[in-house]
Amino acid sequence: MKTLIFLFLMLGMFLAPAEAASWKFSNGTVAFSIRNAGLTVKGNFGKLTAQVQFNPDEPANAKIEASVPVQSIETGINLRNKHLKKPEYFDAARFPEISLRLIRLEKDGTQWKGNFDLTIKGIRKNLTLPVTFSSDGNSARIASTFTINRLDFKVGESSWTLSDDVSVQLTANLIP
């Protein structure tokens, strides 16, 4: 009888669904692109830091807080990088970081969507963003691609040559 109970317990361990991993931040990227004078200017912010707690089976308990230092902006042209740090654009001296904080994460069928607060130049806007999640069991990735209006955050002024829309690509690599 003891042997039979032991066999059922062992069988149950193998047949029970594996517990979903709880993922934590490892590293990530913040890239952007904007049209300027008919050309696409690409850039990124380095030094992304984040605190991520994510279990795909419990999206209501997810926590994501991320930030990048404005000083880390890189567009491939030093003069442009310096210009973007000035008060009329990102005002890096007064507002040294850009931050993103998750308010709520939901899964809608096969799609994820997150409600986030994005803060640039001290201006906080609430955004609903598409979120993708992928995992191979050893690592995972959360990503989002979206567009913001730079004028909503007082980054520059209205211009005939510089687009108001900025495409942003966020990627957070996760580990168990």
DSSP line for the chain: -HHHHHHHHHHHHHHSPPPPPPEEEEEEEEEEEEEETTEEEEEEE---EEEEEE-TT-GGG-EEEEEEEGGGEE-S-HHHHHHHTSTTTT-TTT--EEEEEEEEEEEETTEEEEEEEEEETTEEEEEEEEEEEEE-SS-EEEEEEEEEEGGGGT-S---SSB-SEEEEEEEEEEE-
pTM, two decimals, is: 0.85
Residue-wise pLDDT tens digits, 134-172: 999 899 999 999 999 999 999 999 999 999 999 999 999
What is the pLDDT, as a whole number, of residue 21?
62
Residue-wise pLDDT tens digits, 3-55: 333 333 333 333 333 335 678 999 999 999 999 999 999 999 999 999 998 88
Domains within the chain, CATH numbers bracketed: 20-175 (2.40.128.110)
